[in-house]
């Protein structure tokens, strides 16, 4: 009660006025006992994304072929992983992220082990290591970064190196460096440029291909170890007698506290 939604350029709320719906879901990385959460990071990220996609598909809000994901900082890091380890998203937007964990060797987020104590964890949790998977996947990645990023874990080199790796493997990607901006973007010119880049990217790789595809249904791709017979598919859901809204895209903006997903609705 008495709570109001605040809109800002850095949040996905603004996409609502362009016909997008917004879903916020939590994407926790957890562990039990003496286990380390990041030891199963990839598996947990996959299952979290699958749960969100099934939620949208199951309620007739979204369907495969019309999803994208994006985030800022740690959310950008998760975005790159989702493009590498799932095949749900047609496009990704990653702002001011960290993609090579060897450049943060003494820990990051909840990871307390150093690079030298657990090098395999740092390798597995580096989207840079999975550049070939991103390149072969369906998602097209837009990278944005401030040239004066003051965050020790997200220097501009992070985006530059991932971009080089992706281009080297033939990926469709774009790197936008915003002059004189730090970890967050404040100048009017930078904010407007960021919004224009995001909109153009989503239109080109999500909305336009999706709208051109008509009403064809596509099953939710299986994750490693999935039982394909048990998957929830768009075609099965569309046969249910429930009110439907076609969607033309999904954009997610992920932060430490959770992931924001927005999808375009064609009413």
Catalytic site residues? 73, 149, 183
Instruction: For the chain, list the strands marked E by DSSP.
Output: 20-25, 68-72, 91-95, 140-146, 173-178, 246-255, 258-266
Long-range Cβ contacts of 25-30 (<8 Å, 24+ apart)? 25/51, 25/52, 25/55, 25/258, 25/259, 25/261, 26/257, 26/258, 26/259, 27/78, 27/254, 27/258, 27/259, 29/110
DSSP bridge partners of 177:
145
Q: Name the 3-class secondary structure at 82.
A: helix
End-to-end CA distance of the chain: 29
| Cα separation, 195 vs 179, whole angstroms | 15
DSSP bridge partners of 146:
178
- Rounded to the nearest 10 degrees, how much is the dihedral formed by the CA atoms of 134, 135, 139, 141? 90
DSSP bridge partners of 25:
259
Residue 57 has φ and ψ, to the nearest 5°, of: -65, -40
**Which residue reads 């997903």 in tokens?**
261
């Amino acid at each position: 009660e008495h709570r109001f939604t605040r809109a800002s350029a850095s949040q996905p709320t603004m996409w609502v006025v362009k016909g997008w719906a917004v879903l916020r879901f939590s994407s926790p990385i957890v562990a039990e006992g003496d286990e380390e959460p990041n030891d199963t990071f990839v598996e947990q990220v996959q299952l979290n994304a699958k749960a969100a996609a099934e939620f949208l598909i199951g309620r007739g809000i979204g369907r495969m072929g019309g999803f994208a994901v994006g985030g800022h900082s740690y959310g950008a890091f998760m975005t790159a992983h989702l493009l590498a380890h799932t095949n749900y998203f047609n496009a990704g937007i990653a702002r001011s992220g960290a993609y090579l964990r060897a450049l943060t060797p003494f820990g990051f987020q909840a990871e307390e082990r150093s690079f030298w104590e657990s090098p395999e964890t740092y390798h597995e949790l580096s989207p840079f290591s999975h550049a070939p998977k991103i390149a072969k996947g369906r998602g097209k990645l837009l990278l944005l970064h401030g040239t004066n990023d003051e965050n020790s874990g997200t220097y501009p080199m992070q985006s530059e190196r991932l971009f080089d790796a992706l281009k080297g493997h033939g990926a469709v990607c774009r790197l936008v460096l915003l002059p004189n901006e730090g970890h967050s973007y404040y100048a009017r010119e930078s904010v407007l440029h960021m919004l224009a880049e995001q909109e153009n990217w989503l239109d080109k790789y999500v909305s336009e291909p999706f709208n051109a595809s008509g009403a064809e249904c596509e099953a939710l791709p299986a994750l490693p170890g999935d039982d394909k017979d048990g998957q929830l598919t768009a075609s099965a859901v569309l046969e249910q007698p429930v009110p439907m809204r076609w969607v033309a895209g999904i954009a997610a903006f992920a932060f430490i506290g959770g992931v924001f997903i927005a999808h375009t609705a064609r009413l």
